[in-house]
Structure formats: structure tokens, C-alpha cells
A and B are shown apart, each in its own frame.
Chain A
Amino acid sequence: SQKIEQNSEALNIQEGKTATLTCNYTNYSPAYLQWYRQDPGRGPVFLLLIRENEKEKRKERLKVTFDTTLKQSLFHITASQPADSATYLCALGGSYIPTFGRGTSLIVHP
């Protein structure tokens, strides 16, 4: 069955450093991958999409890579700020309804 893995342990980093979050998947050949941000008690907010034929996508301080051979996406936040602290979810799609991972909590310390 399809499986999406995101690190269940929170990632703690210092302000100004680059945060890197991982999304691994098995038994799946997604056409695209999305990243969302979720704050406590709120709904997720769509951040970025990367398609299977794209290696890298950037948006301001965000960068996403997609390696279909490794079956992995990396999500980077450069020059991280305490305001970036949240849970980040990846979602894989190909058929109509994407499948979401559990998310990884990022904590940026001032």
C-alpha cells in the first residue's frame, strides 16, 4: 500500500539557519507533490507544488526538491525565523485526490 513518511520528531533549529524537512514515499509514483504549512488549531495552508518532471522549485525563502529515483522530497526554509515555526505537511498526488503525510513540526529558536 502507499506510504508517506515524514519525520515524527520535531526539528529544532536556531534562527537564521536553514531548515530542511523530508518527505519519503513508497509504493507510489506521484505526478506531483505539494507542501502545506499548518499552525496549531488551524487548517493547512498551501505553499508549493512541484511536478514529477521538475527537480527543484523556489518561492521566496522556500525551496523544494523532488527526486523520483530516491522517492523523496526535501523542503528547505532559508534564513529561518521564529515565525516559521509550524507543522509542515507533504501531499502526493497523481490521481484526483492527493494523499497527505503526518507532518513534521519545525521549531525555530530565537
Chain B
Amino acid sequence: DGGITQSPKYLFRKEGQNVTLSCEQNLNHDAMYWYRQDPGQGLRLIYYSQIVNDFQKGDIAEGYSVSREKKESFPLTVTSAQKNPTAFYLCASSILSGQAYYGYTFGSGTRLTVV
């Protein structure tokens, strides 16, 4: 079955540590996205990528980094510069030209907690 796989489901980070969240899709979608979701808040866009080797900052990119070396993969690194990283992280993908009609396909999320 086609879909998006995020791993791990739960992740614990120590202060000052960088961690990387994995996102893989086998839908052949061109565009991929990272969102952060906090309780009582909407999805906030961190980074997005429309094609391989290209990505753009979203609304809250500070303290995060991404890469897009393969069409299927869009990993997110939460760096030590991110002061409040505890949140639920969602990866999504979409058809570039049909994004409106087909919507986003989301992964199951990674819950990151600072310990």
C-alpha cells in the first residue's frame, strides 16, 4: 500500500542534542512538507520541498534543518537551537499540480519530548 512512513513514533531528546526525524513516501509525490502541532494550535509549517535538492522555509523554520536528496525522503533535524522542541511532528506529501483537489497525505507523526 502507498503511504507515508514516519519514524520513530516517539523520540526523546536531551538538552543540547540534535535529533533527526525520518519521513519516507512511496506515493511518487513531488512535494513534501513538515508541520509542527502543539496542543490547541493549528498545524504550523516548518519546511517544504517541491523538488529534489530544493526546499523552502515555512513559518517556523528556526532551529530546524531538512534535506531532500531523494524524491521519497525528507528528513527533519531538530537542532539544539530549537528552544522548545517538544511537540507532535507531522510529515505530509502531495501531488504538485493537484494539491488542492487531492489534499495532503499525512504520516502518523512523531512525538518528540525533551528530557
Contacts and interface: CB of A to CB of B under 8 A. Distances in A.
Contacts, number: 55
Interface in B80-115: 88, 90, 92, 99-109, 111
Contacts of A100: 35, 42-43
29 contacts: A4-B42, A36-B103, A41-B108, A41-B109, A42-B109, A43-B92, A43-B106, A43-B109, A44-B43, A44-B90, A44-B104, A45-B106, A46-B103, A46-B105, A49-B100, A49-B101, A49-B103, A89-B42, A89-B43, A93-B99, A93-B100, A97-B48, A98-B100, A100-B42, A100-B43, A102-B40, A102-B41, A102-B42, A103-B42
Interface of B: 4, 6, 33, 35, 40-43, 45, 48, 58, 88, 90, 92, 99-109, 111
